[in-house]
Amino acid sequence: MPDAGLNNQNGGEDSYYIGNSNSKKFHRLECENLPAEHNQVKLKSRAEAVEAGYSPCSICQP
């Protein structure tokens, strides 16, 4: 099954994750713990995030 990104309500192709370039954590768009805009990295999928060395956020659990 293809990675649906954020599994958000629309489930569309526009789904993605936000990575933190400092902490190397990645988050769902709706996470309360998103990094400052200047530290944000757009990641197309969970697989891309993991391959780039990011770990999932413990709050939003992407």
Domain positions in the chain are: 1-62
Whose tokens are 């998103």? That residue is 34
pTM of the predicted protein model: 0.75
> 10-54 pLDDT, tens per residue?
444 458 999 999 999 999 999 999 999 999 999 999 999 999 999
Task: Please give the Cα distance from 35 to 58 (Å, whole number).
Answer: 14
Kindly tell me the burial class for residue 5, based on how many C-beta atoms sit within 10 Å of its own C-beta (0-12, 13-18, 19 or more).
buried
pLDDT category at 62 given cuts 50, 70, 90 is very high
- Fold of the CATH domain 1-62: DNA Methylphosphotriester Repair Domain (3.40.10)
